[in-house]
C-alpha cells in the first residue's frame, strides 16, 4: 500500500514539474509563476465544485432511504469502521453496472451506485464495492485525481498556446534571441501533453489498486470485491459508454470499473488497471489473511 502512495507522490511531482518546465519555456520565471497561479485557481475550483458537476452530469438522485435502507445501514457501518461521517448516497438510473465516489473530503463525500449494479450484485459483493468507494474517500483520491486532471489540462492549454506561437512566430525579437526557437516549442507542445496524460492515467491506476487493497481490508472480504469486479467487468462489455464519448471521458477515472468497452486505444490509455491483475491481487490478499489466522 505504501508503494502506491509513494508512486502517486512521485507522479504528481512529475506533473507539476512538466507544468513548471512549460511555464519556463513560455515566459521564463514569470511564466512559471503565472501558470502555477492559474493551476492553483483551477484546482481550487475543482476542489469545491467538481462533485456537484459530476452528480449533475449523471442526473444522480438521492438514494431512497425507505427503499434502500439496507444500503444505508451497510455504508453507515463501513463509515463508522473507518471513522468518517456518513457519506451522501445517490442513485444513477442506467443499466450500466458501476459505482463512484466524489466530494472534496470525508466530511463532504458522496457515493453513487447505478441501478445496473444493484441488479447484478449480491449484498456481500455490493458491500465490497462500497468499501472500495469509501476507501477512495479516506485516501483523498478524489482530490488527488482532480489535481492531476487540472494539471494535465493546464499543460494541454499551454501546449496549444505554444503550437500557435510556433506556427505564427508571434514572439518578440527579444524572446527570439533569448528563448527557444519555434521548432523546440512545437516539439515540446506535442510531447508534453502526451507525457502529462500518461502520468495522469498512471496516477488513476495507482489509486485504483490502493482503493482495492484498503477496501478489501475495511470489508474484511477480498473475495467478495473480486467477485463483484468479475461481474462488473462482464456487464461492462455489454453495457458501457461509447469509446468515442468524450463527454464522459473526463469522469471515467471515478468509476470502480472503466465505463468504456476497452477496445483499441482506450485499452492502452486506460484510467483503470487490467481487471485480471486487480482480481489476482485481491485473491492474494485473501490468501495472506487466511495464512495469518
pLDDT digits (tens, 9 = 90+) for 139-164: 888 777 766 766 676 677 677 766 66
SS3 223: helix
Measured N-to-C along each axis, helices 141-168 and 123-138 cross at an angle, to the nearest 10 degrees, of 60
Residue 102 covered by a domain: no
Residue 225 covered by a domain: yes
Residue 156 covered by a domain: yes
Residue 151 covered by a domain: yes
**So what's the pLDDT on residue 32?**
64
Q: How far apart are CA 72 and CA 75, in angstroms?
A: 5
* Stretch (H or E) spanning 113: strand 110-114
Q: For the CA atoms of the chain, what is the radius of gyration?
A: 21
Q: How far apart are CA 194 and CA 169, in angstroms?
A: 23
Average pLDDT, the chain: 82
> One of 125, 133, 208, 213 is an active-site residue; which one?
133
Contact, 23 vs 185, CB < 8 A? no
Nine-digit cell string for 33: 509563476
SS3 53: helix
Residue 95 covered by a domain: no
Q: Give residue 260's pLDDT band: very low, low, confident or very high (50, 70, 90).
A: confident
Q: What is the mean pLDDT of residues 83-103?
A: 95
CA nearest to 257, candidates 97, 95, 45, 109:
97
Residue 269 covered by a domain: yes
Q: What is the mean pLDDT of residues 265-276?
A: 77
Domain containing 149 equals 2-53+135-288
Handedness of CA 266, 54, 50, 4 (dihedral sign): negative
**So what's the pLDDT on residue 171?**
45
Residue 125 covered by a domain: no
Least confident range from 62-66, 183-187, 283-287: namely: 183-187
**So what's the pLDDT on residue 173?**
44
Tally the domains of the chain: 1
* Stretch (H or E) spanning 136: helix 123-138
Residue 248 covered by a domain: yes
Is 93 in the active site? no
pTM strictly above 0.85: no
Q: For residues 271 and 162, which has the higher predicted lDDT (pLDDT)?
A: 271
Q: Give residue 88's pLDDT band: very low, low, confident or very high (50, 70, 90).
A: very high
E-assigned strand segments in 145-205: none
Look at residue 106 and tell me whether its pLDDT is greater than 60: yes
**So what's the pLDDT on residue 5?**
52
Nine-digit cell string for 5: 502512495
Q: How far apart are CA 285 and CA 283, in angstroms?
A: 5
Report percent pLDDT > 90 for the chain. 43
All residues at 6 or more sequence positions from 155 whose CB lies less than 8 Å from its CB, including other chains = 15, 18, 19, 22, 192, 193, 196
Amino acid at each position: 500500500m505504501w508503494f502506491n502512495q509513494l508512486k502517486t507522490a512521485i507522479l504528481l511531482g512529475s506533473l507539476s514539474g512538466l507544468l513548471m518546465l512549460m511555464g519556463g519555456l513560455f515566459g521564463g520565471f514569470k511564466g512559471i509563476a503565472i501558470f502555477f497561479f492559474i493551476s492553483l485557481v483551477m484546482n481550487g475550483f475543482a476542489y469545491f465544485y467538481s462533485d456537484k458537476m459530476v452528480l449533475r452530469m449523471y442526473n444522480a438522485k438521492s438514494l431512497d432511504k425507505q427503499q434502500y435502507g439496507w444500503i444505508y445501514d451497510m455504508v453507515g457501518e463501513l463509515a463508522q469502521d473507518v471513522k468518517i461521517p456518513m457519506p451522501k448516497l445517490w442513485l444513477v438510473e442506467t443499466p450500466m453496472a458501476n459505482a463512484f465516489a466524489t466530494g472534496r473530503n470525508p466530511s463532504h463525500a458522496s457515493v453513487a451506485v447505478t441501478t445496473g449494479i444493484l441488479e447484478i450484485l449480491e449484498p456481500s459483493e455490493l458491500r465490497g464495492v462500497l468499501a472500495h468507494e469509501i476507501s477512495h474517500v479516506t485516501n483523498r483520491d478524489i482530490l488527488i485525481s482532480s489535481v492531476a486532471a487540472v494539471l494535465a489540462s493546464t499543460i494541454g492549454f499551454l501546449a496549444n498556446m505554444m503550437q500557435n506561437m510556433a506556427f505564427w512566430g508571434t514572439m518578440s525579437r527579444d524572446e527570439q534571441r533569448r528563448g527557444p526557437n519555434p521548432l523546440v516549442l512545437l516539439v515540446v507542445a506535442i510531447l508534453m501533453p502526451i507525457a502529462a496524460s500518461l502520468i495522469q492515467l498512471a496516477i488513476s491506476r495507482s489509486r485504483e489498486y490502493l482503493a482495492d487493497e484498503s477496501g478489501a481490508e475495511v470489508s474484511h472480504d477480498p473475495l467478495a470485491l473480486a467477485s463483484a469486479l468479475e461481474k462488473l467487468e462482464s456487464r461492462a462489455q455489454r453495457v458501457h459508454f461509447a469509446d468515442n464519448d468524450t463527454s464522459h471521458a473526463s469522469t471515467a477515472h471515478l468509476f470502480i470499473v472503466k465505463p468504456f468497452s476497452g477496445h483499441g486505444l482506450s485499452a492502452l490509455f486506460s484510467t483503470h488497471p487490467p481487471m485480471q491483475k486487480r482480481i489476482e491481487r485481491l485473491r492474494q490478499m485473501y490468501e495472506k489473511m487466511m495464512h495469518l489466522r
